[in-house]
Amino acid sequence: DTGVSQDPRHKITKRGQNVTFRCDPISEHNRLYWYRQTLGQGPEFLTYFQNEAQLEKSRLLSDRFSAERPKGSFSTLEIQRTEQGDSAMYLCASRGAGASYGQYFGPGTRLTVT
Amino acid sequence: AQKVTQAQTEISVVEKEDVTLDCVYETRDTTYYLFWYKQPPSGELVFLIRRNSFDEQNEISGRYSWNFQKSTSSFNFTITASQVVDSAVYFCALTFYGGATNKLIFGTGTLLAVQP
C-alpha cells in the first residue's frame, strides 16, 4: 500500500490526558498537512510541513498542540491536556512538489475525549 | 478571504438518476485551483479532480463531469446514472496557486444518498 497511512485509526481518551498521532505520507511527497474535521463540517487546516520544516500553523492550533516531522518523512501530532472540544477526526495529507498536485489524504484518526 | 460554499446539505436520489452538486467559491486571487473530494462512510477523503483557474473546459470522466464557470465562480459536479456506491459526502475545495502552503479551503460538504 503506497497511500498515506495514519495510526491509530481510533483513540478514546479521558479529558486531561495527552495523545499522539502518527502520519506516514506517500514516500516521494515532501509536503505534509494536518487537518481537523468535526461532525458535519469540512476539514480545516491545522499545519503544514515542507520536508522537516513547519512553515505554517493555523490559529486553530493552540499551545496544547504540537506537530513534528523530524526527518522529513513521518509526522506526529500531539495534543496535551485534551479537552472535550478536541474530539474530531484528524486527517493527514501529503502531496508532491508543485502547486498543481492534489493532496492525498490518509484514513484519519478519530479522537474521542470523554 | 477565500471561501467555499456548498449550499446543498443533503441530496437523496434514486439509483440511475442524474444529480448535480453545487459549489460556489470566493477568492481575490487570479490563480487558484479547485478540487472535488469524496468521503465515503469509511472516512477517507478520495481525490476526484483538480481544475486550475486558467482552464474553463468542462471535464468528463466516466459517469462524472465537472462544469467550471469563472463568471459565476462555480465549479459544479454532476454524476450521471447514479449508483448506490456513489453515496458519500462530497467536498469542494479551493487553494491559492502561488501560496507557499497551498492549504485547502473546504466547503461544508454535500451528503449524497443514492437509494436502490
- Read off the pLDDT of each residue in A4-11 and give the average, rounded to a whole number: 96
Q: Cβ separation of A42 and B108 shorter than 8 Å? A: yes
List of residues 6+ apart from B85 with CB closer than 8 A: B114
Q: Do B101 and A43 touch (CB under 8 A)?
A: no
What are the chain A neighbours of B98 within 8 Å (beta carbons)?
99
Q: What average pLDDT does the segment A3-31 reach? A: 95
**Residues A106/A3, Cβ–Cβ less than 8 Å:** yes
- Stretch A23-45: mean pLDDT: 94
Q: Tens digit of pLDDT for each residue in A67-97?
A: 999 988 999 999 999 999 999 999 999 998 7
Q: Given this model, what pLDDT does residue A1 score?
A: 52
Ordered DSSP codes for B80-92: SS--GGG-EEEEE
Our CA angle for B95, A79, A85, nearest 5°, is 80
Identify the three-state secondary structure at position B4.
strand
Q: Is residue A100's pLDDT more than 70?
A: no
The three cell numbers of residue A92 are 493527514
Burial annotation B85-112 (CB, 10 A radius, 16+ → b, else e): ebbbbbbbbbbbeeeebbbbbbbbbbeb
Q: What pLDDT score was predicted for residue B52?
A: 87
Which of A:54-93 have CB within 8 Å of B? Answer: 55-56, 89, 91, 93
Regions of chain B with pLDDT less than 70: none
> What is the structure's pLDDT at A80?
97
Question: In percent, how much of chain A has pLDDT > 70?
Answer: 96
Give the CA dihedral A28, A32, A37, A42, nearest 10 degrees: -80
